Amino acid sequence: MAASLRASSSLRSRFLSSSSGCSPWRLLLSSPVHSDASHQTETLAFDEIQLSPEKPPTATAFVLHGLLGSGRNWRSFSRALVSELHNRSPSDEWRMVLVDLRNHGRSAGIKGFGPPHSISTAAKDLADLVKARGWPWPDVVLGHSMGGKVALDFAESCSRGVYGDSADLPKQLWVLDSVPGQVETDNSDGEVEWVLQTLASLPSSLPSRKWVVDHMLSLGFSKSLSEWIGSNLKKDNDHVTWAFDLQAAIDMFSSYRERDYWALLEHPPKDLEIAIVQAESSDRWVPDDVQRLKALAKRESKPDVGKVSLHVLPNSGHWVHVDNPKGLLEIMVPNFLSAVQN
């Protein structure tokens, strides 16, 4: 039991989401829309956060959550980021687009996101969203954990012309506590798998949120983690079901572990900066990967090659925007400003 409790505490750092409180900023909730393609399909669900939504934005950042999360996990941090950016540079009107990736959040209820459920298809969904809405391509893409690899795939595909000639490469990627290479089984403690296996062992239709929370507690999960798991349920007549597509999320986790983006970091496209944030107390990193990133960050800059930077976030575990949001803002804000000023 003690081992289970310790494991559940660590799991909380991976999956626990922050609650969104009241805010003076206006949150623009958007419903899925239809594209004008020959086979009409719905796009991803998303929220928009902008300090003055009546003004046209001068820059846009996409914010991508991690496994089993949703865009709402990042509302509080995104509000703070928009506010701080405005304080530093009032002439810039930043817009944050908080995306629910396929099979997660409100996007889990949208038909049309068929297999394969992978990092690459999740990245293509972003391109489809931009095209369907008629938006400018994002200046910055920020991704946490699994979302970090989606961001890397999005930039790589833009640079290779996968999304067509109209696609513009982002100026910056922010990859937050996400290892860019393959996640080897020997380097994993298996806790994420344990969460997924636990959820998969439950029936698809469940008696109530309280029943789920009590069941998770009985397995040794912490109260906070059990309640967070319970918050990912939706009403289904007299029962409740998961708000995410669990099997598809498992497929995405497998893709996350398998995909390797070291080649992109070794040869980043011109005018792209890839900023990696390593949480100081995160258990995701092995020394060889950290040393490799340090070497890439120290390379002499060349006019025809992009840039890689490495930032260590102190006093933080994997859930960076919850553990040390102030420190994360201090790292990110000056670099966000440089993205639109260069």
Same domain, 224 and 95: no
Do residues 152 and 261 lie in contact, with contact meaning Cβ atoms separated by under 8 Å? yes
Region of poorest pLDDT, from 153-157, 295-299, 316-320: 316-320
**Better-scored residue on pLDDT, 323 or 231:** 323
* CATH code of the domain in which 298 resides: 3.40.50.1820
Both 71 and 119 in a single domain? yes
The answer to whether residue 39 is domain-embedded is: no
H/E/C letters for each residue in 259-316? CCCHHHHHCCCCCCEEEEEEECCCCCCCHHHHHHHHHHHCCCCCCCCCEEEEEEECCC
Q: What is the pLDDT of residues 76-96, one digit of tens each?
A: 999 999 999 999 999 899 999
Task: Note whether 299 and 157 are same-domain residues.
Answer: yes
252 and 325 assigned to the same domain: yes
Within-domain flag for 21 = no
Q: Which of 242, 257, 283 is the last residue of a domain?
A: 242
Do both 62 and 172 map to the same domain?
Answer: yes
Q: Same domain for 197 and 212? A: yes
For the stretch 168-202, pLDDT in tens is: 999 999 999 999 999 876 555 556 777 788 899 99
Average pLDDT of the residues in 132-148? 96
Report, as an integer, the average pLDDT of 12-35: 39
Does one domain contain both 67 and 83? yes
Same domain, yes or no: 229 and 127: no
37 located within any domain: no
Higher pLDDT, 273 or 32: 273
* pLDDT tens digits along 226-252: 777 787 788 888 999 888 888 999 999
- CA distance linking residue 288 with residue 282, whole number of Å: 15
Angle at CA 76, nearest 5°, toward 59 and 54?
40
Question: Is residue 318 within 8 Å of residue 13, measured between CB atoms?
Answer: yes
Burial (CB count <10 Å: 0-12, 13-18, 19+), residue 254: middle
Where is average pLDDT lowest: 51-55, 128-132, 158-162?
A: 51-55
> Please, which residues have CB within 8 angstroms of residue 106's CB and are 6 or more apart in sequence?
32, 45, 70, 100
Residue span of the structural domain in which 118 resides: 46-184+247-333
Whether 297 and 329 share a structural domain: yes
Distance between CA atoms of residues 309 and 277, nearest Å: 9
Q: What average pLDDT does this structure show over 289-312? A: 94
Give the separation between CA 131 and CA 160, rounded to whole angstroms: 17
Residues 251 and 236 in one domain: no
Is the same domain home to 214 and 174?
A: no
Res 339: pLDDT: 67
Percent of the chain with pLDDT over 90: 61
Q: Cβ–Cβ contacts within 10 Å for residue 328, how many? A: 23
Q: Which of 342, 264, 337, 334 is nearest to 306 (CA)?
A: 264
- The answer to whether residue 10 is domain-embedded is no
| Position with higher pLDDT, 318 vs 19 | 318
Amino acid type, 79: R
Return the closest-CA partner of residue 82 out of 140, 3, 6, 14.
140
The pLDDT score that the predictor gives to residue 160 is: 95
Q: Is 169 among the domain residues?
A: yes
Q: Which phi and psi (to 5°) does residue 141 adopt?
A: -125, 125
Residue 40: band (very low, low, confident or very high) from pLDDT cuts 50, 70, 90: very low
Query: Would 100 be classed as within a structural domain?
Result: yes
Same domain as 83, residue 229: no
* φ/ψ (deg, to 5) at 209: -60, -40
Average model confidence (pLDDT) across the chain: 85
In a domain, 145, yes or no: yes
Q: What is the pLDDT of residue 244?
A: 85
Would 339 be classed as within a structural domain? no
Q: Specify the number of domains making up the chain.
A: 2
CB atoms within 10 A of CB 160: 10
